[in-house]
Chains A and B, each alone.
Chain A
């Protein structure tokens, strides 16, 4: 850093310094060592001490003050720019140390990121004076080159030729405030030990700190001092666990080798304050876990409150998803019917509905956790991987639909519409509508829900229940709000004969849901099992019909027998033939496996991997509107993008693991691996042809 130079003439400097002094005098109170007005910034050299002494260290401060809108740079300038360069000429026995920089800021500039200062900054430089230094003063010749940029960059140059008297060490009182402020702006000295793990395409900073010391942190960002640690423009992920604080950074695979674990960690707290701490991490190249070439999964860095908010919003959005809509319509229907109810009655029903959803979610989650703890790799929607469950849902949907069509009334649930308006059964009905809503909601992953569920499933059980409770609450919220607000309720239409017609009309979405589930069942269990289930469905309907038509004990017994037999045959599935993989939409698509993906990436191919399931409506919609359009397929062909399909219709550990790696617990998931890179770009859960096209264009 301190490259001494003596090539400019002494006279020029003296004149320059004199002018600087004259310029500086009226503006600054401190007796500084000279101010330089450069084209786009000014620079002032300060000394903390009026007189220095042999054997001591005195501090100089270089104050850089860029013009409004312009910025100067930190020692690591990020993607572009340049750090200040100091050229010292000092007498023997005096050595200038490395400059200390204030905590920098991030300054994004288009696709790039710079680190630096948009405000005045003071760089502190120590001058170390030898014990045996004899001179009456220390002559200092300093030449600084610093860069300021707005969009365009203008290098600035400043020269100082000055001296500090040597006698007894004495502070310059007029400089105290400047140096105090400068020291406050520095990051704190390293107080925590840290490791910096360098993986091929990622690096992970681990700060050994207890959770209580960093409680209330809302953001953590690491400014690496050395090159090769992070891609500056990429977002950093952070998390706090019992092991410490982690910051995950993307890095360019095969780029500059990381050789330095130093940097500055900036923590932002709930109250908006920042704490900047120096980090001197031990550099660990390619830790053992990365020896297979895999990078570790990014920590699910979603803070709890955010996961809760996502779960709530996700639950609300779920109301609009195609698989929930039929049940939603049912609920809307019973709400209209409830018009004449008392306010208290409406509120009760609202809560009964909420409870129905909540209880169902809790049961599903409890089962999920129980299976998970048994070691099986499963995730959200797992119940639909079970043909017995899908078959039962078909039966349920069919019965509800028939009831709506007016064939019969099921007395446990959805009868409330036309009659018994004030009956206490209304609550029970609302409860079971809630159950129904929760059951059919499971295959739908609404936007915002995926990160919350993905997060939840990596957390301890209480957190999981909390997140799913919020999800349940979100799903119930629109109707709960309706049952509480008379204003909203008044906006609903009057009950009347039209309701019978509406009821019949609303049966059709239910039939369609049943048809779709039957299709899923067929793929899961095969044609013979489908025939069995069709027969079972007819038998069940026959049983219901007998029950309705005859009131004798024997006929009731026969009816029950038929229904139990139907349900049993659906659950036991005597002729079920599990299929390995489902039908492929396109011959060029290969089934996903870790090995296949690795093989293609090794060959330097660009790979688009999509993870889907027959029971995932969001996936199917995406495939129809975005993935399997002619344009998108042409785009894939044109760019030689290889397609891998991960089918999660039935249970598959390899896919469950991959989903977990990306912090997900369910499908859909869309990954674009640029040419041979193991680091994928994650596409959103709701795809459009434009999103795919943009992503492909961006990696070209």
Chain B
């Protein structure tokens, strides 16, 4: 009954498929409790642009952007421009990058992050809602709740800090387009980096 198994498997597979939102469409709403116990929701932040950053402090690609100060620079520019920045950790317990709220708080302080909120998503619910695939994986939602940008932070998929010099920061570019009131020129790019360590990623 191998065939039957295959059929059942394919049905199960189709059920497991994610349907990520597309740029230009309504960003799916979510509610979350931040590491300091605040309740936030995307709809509750309507009226302000929101940036979502998927992160995993042990991922070399994330480390590159933090140790070089590139991520903090981006965070600072956008939050000072009025954005609410939410860093999301979707690592499942026992997987790389999983942290407790206290550890996350320490990391935020130690790295000098400008994020407004840090959210733990160990069940991968928000991650899968947005189809977050890598760390880092960036999303920009505009004031009206429309997804403006999703993808990589920059255009050189390298873990090395020296790639930054020649790279174009795609988040800053999308932000600049939004501020200028013009359509975002590159609304979606291919993210690069470590796989988000969801619970169903097995050794």
A residues at B contact (CB < 8 Å): 3, 5, 7, 77, 79-83, 85, 109-112, 114, 145, 147, 149-155, 157, 227-228, 231, 233-235, 250, 252-257, 306, 309-310, 313, 448, 451, 604, 674-677, 679, 681-684, 691, 694-695, 698-700
Q: Complex: how many Å from CA A570 to CA B10? A: 45
| Stretch among B34-42, B74-82, B106-114, B184-192 lining the A interface | B184-192
Contacts of B160 in A (CB 8 A): 145, 155, 157
Contacts of A253 in B (CB 8 A): 22
Beta-carbon nearest neighbor of A233 in chain B:
B17
**Nearest CB of chain B from residue A223's CB, rounded to whole Å:** 15
> Is A111's CB under 8 angstroms from B189's CB?
no
Beta-carbon nearest neighbor of A309 in chain B:
B3
Q: Complex: how many Å from CA A700 to CA B60? A: 30
B101 at the interface (CB under 8 A from A): no
B residues at A contact (CB < 8 Å): 3-4, 7-8, 10-11, 13-20, 22-26, 28, 58-61, 95-96, 125, 128-129, 131, 133-134, 151, 156-160, 162-163, 166, 188-198, 200-203
Known: A250-B17, A252-B20, A255-B23. 13 other contacts (CB 8 A): A3-B166, A5-B162, A80-B192, A82-B61, A111-B18, A235-B13, A256-B188, A257-B188, A451-B7, A676-B25, A681-B15, A683-B11, A698-B16
> Is B17's CB under 8 angstroms from A79's CB?
no
Contacts of A147 in B (CB 8 A): 159
> Is A604's CB under 8 angstroms from B129's CB?
no
Contacts of B13 in A (CB 8 A): 235
**Nearest CB of chain B from residue A468's CB, rounded to whole Å:** 19
**Which of A151, A234, A448 sits near B197, CB closer than 8 Å?**
A151
**Nearest CB of chain A from residue B20's CB, rounded to whole Å:** 6
> Is A79's CB under 8 angstroms from B19's CB?
no
Contacts of B196 in A (CB 8 A): 80
Beta-carbon nearest neighbor of B166 in chain A:
A3
> Is A81's CB under 8 angstroms from B195's CB?
yes
> Is B197's CB under 8 angstroms from A256's CB?
no
Contacts of A694 in B (CB 8 A): 15
Known interface pairs A110-B201, A254-B22; A80-B158 also in contact (CB < 8 Å): no
Contacts of A683 in B (CB 8 A): 11, 15
> Is A82's CB under 8 angstroms from B22's CB?
no
Contacts of B58 in A (CB 8 A): 152
**Which of A82, A681, A700 sits near B17, CB closer than 8 Å?**
A681
> Is A313's CB under 8 angstroms from B3's CB?
yes
> Is A154's CB under 8 angstroms from B166's CB?
no
> Is A235's CB under 8 angstroms from B10's CB?
yes
> Is A111's CB under 8 angstroms from B23's CB?
no
**Nearest CB of chain B from residue A199's CB, rounded to whole Å:** 14
**Which of A227, A309, A675, A700 sits near B190, CB closer than 8 Å?**
A227
> Is A82's CB under 8 angstroms from B3's CB?
no
> Is B4's CB under 8 angstroms from A149's CB?
no
Q: Complex: how many Å from CA A79 to CA B195? A: 8
Contacts of A111 in B (CB 8 A): 16-18, 128, 198, 200-201
Q: Complex: how many Å from CA A111 to CA B4? A: 22
> Is B134's CB under 8 angstroms from A80's CB?
yes
**Nearest CB of chain A from residue B8's CB, rounded to whole Å:** 8
> Is A255's CB under 8 angstroms from B14's CB?
no
> Is A149's CB under 8 angstroms from B166's CB?
no
Q: Complex: how many Å from CA A463 to CA B58? A: 57
Q: Complex: how many Å from CA A233 to CA B191? A: 15
Q: Complex: how many Å from CA A111 to CA B96? A: 17
**Nearest CB of chain A from residue B194's CB, rounded to whole Å:** 4
Q: Complex: how many Å from CA A3 to CA B23? A: 31
Beta-carbon nearest neighbor of B26 in chain A:
A604
Contacts of B157 in A (CB 8 A): 82-83, 85
Q: Complex: how many Å from CA A256 to CA B22? A: 9
> Is A79's CB under 8 angstroms from B192's CB?
no
Q: Complex: how many Å from CA A306 to CA B3? A: 8
> Is A153's CB under 8 angstroms from B166's CB?
no
Known interface pairs A153-B60, A448-B7, A681-B17; A254-B24 also in contact (CB < 8 Å): yes
**Which of B7, B17, B26, B162 sits near A698, CB closer than 8 Å?**
B17
> Is B188's CB under 8 angstroms from A255's CB?
yes
> Is B3's CB under 8 angstroms from A681's CB?
no
Q: Complex: how many Å from CA A699 to CA B203? A: 25
Q: Complex: how many Å from CA A152 to CA B195? A: 8
Offer 22 A-B interface pairs, CB within 8 angstroms, sorted by A.
Answer: A7-B162, A79-B195, A80-B194, A81-B134, A83-B157, A85-B158, A110-B198, A145-B160, A155-B159, A227-B189, A235-B14, A252-B131, A253-B22, A255-B20, A255-B22, A255-B23, A256-B151, A257-B188, A448-B3, A604-B26, A676-B25, A682-B11
Contacts of A81 in B (CB 8 A): 134, 192-193, 195
**Nearest CB of chain B from residue A641's CB, rounded to whole Å:** 14
Q: Complex: how many Å from CA A684 to CA B12? A: 9
Contacts of A233 in B (CB 8 A): 17
Contacts of B26 in A (CB 8 A): 604
**Which of B4, B60, B125, B133 sits near A155, CB closer than 8 Å?**
B60
Closest 5 A-B residue pairs measured CB to CB? Answer: A254-B22, A110-B201, A155-B159, A80-B195, A256-B188
Q: Complex: how many Å from CA A593 to CA B193? A: 44
Q: Complex: how many Å from CA A310 to CA B8? A: 13
> Is B14's CB under 8 angstroms from A82's CB?
no
Contacts of B59 in A (CB 8 A): 153
Known interface pairs A310-B3, A681-B15; A153-B194 also in contact (CB < 8 Å): yes
Contacts of B15 in A (CB 8 A): 681, 683, 691, 694-695, 698
Contacts of A691 in B (CB 8 A): 15
Contacts of A3 in B (CB 8 A): 166
Beta-carbon nearest neighbor of B134 in chain A:
A80
**Nearest CB of chain A from residue B132's CB, rounded to whole Å:** 10
**Nearest CB of chain A from residue B64's CB, rounded to whole Å:** 8
Q: Complex: how many Å from CA A255 to CA B23? A: 6
Contacts of A85 in B (CB 8 A): 156-158, 163
> Is A699's CB under 8 angstroms from B19's CB?
yes
Known interface pairs A149-B194, A227-B190, A698-B15; A80-B20 also in contact (CB < 8 Å): no
Beta-carbon nearest neighbor of B188 in chain A:
A256
Contacts of A313 in B (CB 8 A): 3-4
Q: Complex: how many Å from CA A79 to CA B151? A: 11
Contacts of A109 in B (CB 8 A): 195, 201
> Is A700's CB under 8 angstroms from B200's CB?
no
Known interface pairs A83-B157, A233-B17; A684-B11 also in contact (CB < 8 Å): yes
Contacts of A604 in B (CB 8 A): 26
Q: Complex: how many Å from CA A108 to CA B66? A: 29
**Which of A154, A252, A310, A698 sits near B22, CB closer than 8 Å?**
A252
> Is B22's CB under 8 angstroms from A112's CB?
no
Beta-carbon nearest neighbor of B63 in chain A:
A155
Known interface pairs A82-B192, A256-B151; A234-B22 also in contact (CB < 8 Å): no
Q: Complex: how many Å from CA A5 to CA B203? A: 37
Q: Complex: how many Å from CA A5 to CA B163? A: 10
Q: Complex: how many Å from CA A234 to CA B13? A: 8
Contacts of A252 in B (CB 8 A): 20, 22, 131
Q: Complex: how many Å from CA A353 to CA B20? A: 53
Contacts of B156 in A (CB 8 A): 85
Beta-carbon nearest neighbor of A250 in chain B:
B17
**Nearest CB of chain A from residue B118's CB, rounded to whole Å:** 22
> Is A682's CB under 8 angstroms from B128's CB?
no
Q: Complex: how many Å from CA A258 to CA B152? A: 17
> Is A82's CB under 8 angstroms from B158's CB?
yes
Contacts of A152 in B (CB 8 A): 58, 96, 194
Known interface pairs A85-B158, A313-B4; A79-B22 also in contact (CB < 8 Å): no
**Nearest CB of chain B from residue A40's CB, rounded to whole Å:** 11
Q: Complex: how many Å from CA A35 to CA B35? A: 46
